[in-house]
Structure 1
Amino acid sequence: MAHLTQNPAEKERFICLYPVYINSKKSQAEGRRIPTEKGVENPSCAEIRDVLTAAGVNVLVEDKMHPREWNRDVQFRGRVRVQLKQEDGSLCHDKFSSRKDVMLYVSEMIPKLKSRTQKGGGGESGSQAGDGGKKSKKKKK
């Protein structure tokens, strides 16, 4: 886990990622930042943290709320700080060069988590056993 100090240069290397950014149930006006079809249904901070930690990214979870989030439930709380750049300004991981890269990766990997695949019939009709992520990736047009 990373430790953020009061050094502004150190904070610049971390980006903020709220679950609402990748939530397919939210509108753009409510804070979603990626296309609905690439989003995830009600992601949590823990899921975002787990996916990024497994990818070897330096993350820090903070108990903050997105300004447009009206629901104050624990499920919707939290913000994940993600380290994109090192002290010298170089990227930590080649596959994450921007905030959007991180959001798209997380939204692709969350449906493959065991906690999501074991729930069974609660999700969409095409998302059994981790298959759903691959189906949305292929374009049938």
Structure 2
Amino acid sequence: MAHLTTNPAARERFLCIYPAYINSKKTLAEGRRIPVEKGVENPSCTEIRDVLTAAGLNVEVEGVKMYPREWNRDAQFRGRVRVQLKLEDGSLCQDKFTSRKDVMFYVAEMIPKLKSRTQKSGGADAGAQQGEGGKKGKKKKK
């Protein structure tokens, strides 16, 4: 992956994917580019990178960049991912990714299957149940 930054002409072949493009919490005006039902709730650049790297694509994360329409300046919403779809001769890197939309739909489909997502949702549910149980116990004591 060292050739990403050394050759600016090759880098132009990389397309940019911002997390807002696949965020189901965003509206079309806020930058979502795929249907809500296919989107992912608050995806991060690292999740996008992990999915695309696992798919065998050449990927680079630019953590300091921000989507221009993003009003929230938190670190969670920063970053963009550059993905190489075509080689220098113009042929596709992988046949299943022919366009920007193909990449976005694939990422949106795969992010919910990540271990970090499945563990977080399970942990959050258990934590919420414990919190509710504690609150109910306190009310009974009063």
2:77 corresponds to 1:76: yes
The 2-side partners of 1:34 and 1:4 are apart by 29
Aligned length: 122
Q: Secondary structure at the match of 1:59?
A: strand
The residue that corresponds to 1:93 in the other structure is 94
The 1-side partners of 2:124 and 2:68 are apart by 29
Question: Displacement of 1:121 after TM fit?
Answer: 6.6
2:77 is aligned with what amino acid? F
The residue that corresponds to 1:138 in the other structure is none
Q: TM-score, normalised by structure 2?
A: 0.81
Q: Secondary structure at the match of 1:91?
A: coil
The residue that corresponds to 1:67 in the other structure is 68
Moved over 6 A (4+): none
1:77 is aligned with what amino acid? R
The 2-side partners of 1:91 and 1:6 are apart by 19
Percent identity, aligned pairs only, is 79
Q: 1:6 to 1:86 in 2, by over 3 A?
A: closer
The residue that corresponds to 1:129 in the other structure is none
Question: Displacement of 1:13 after TM fit?
Answer: 1.6
Q: Secondary structure at the match of 1:88?
A: coil
1:58 is aligned with what amino acid? N
1:19 is aligned with what amino acid? P
CA deviation string 1:15-35 (max 9, x = no partner): 000000000000000000000
The residue that corresponds to 2:113 in the other structure is 112
2:65 is aligned with what amino acid? K
The residue that corresponds to 1:15 in the other structure is 15
Q: TM-score, normalised by structure 1?
A: 0.82
2:49 corresponds to 1:49: yes
Larger radius of gyration: 2
The 1-side partners of 2:7 and 2:71 are apart by 29
The residue that corresponds to 1:40 in the other structure is 40
Please say which of residues 11-20 and 102-111 is displaced more in the overlay.
11-20
The 2-side partners of 1:7 and 1:110 are apart by 30
The 1-side partners of 2:7 and 2:92 are apart by 21
The 1-side partners of 2:124 and 2:34 are apart by 23
1:98 is aligned with what amino acid? S
Ranges in structure 1 where 5+ consecutive residues have no aligned partner = 124-141
The residue that corresponds to 1:136 in the other structure is none
The 1-side partners of 2:7 and 2:57 are apart by 21
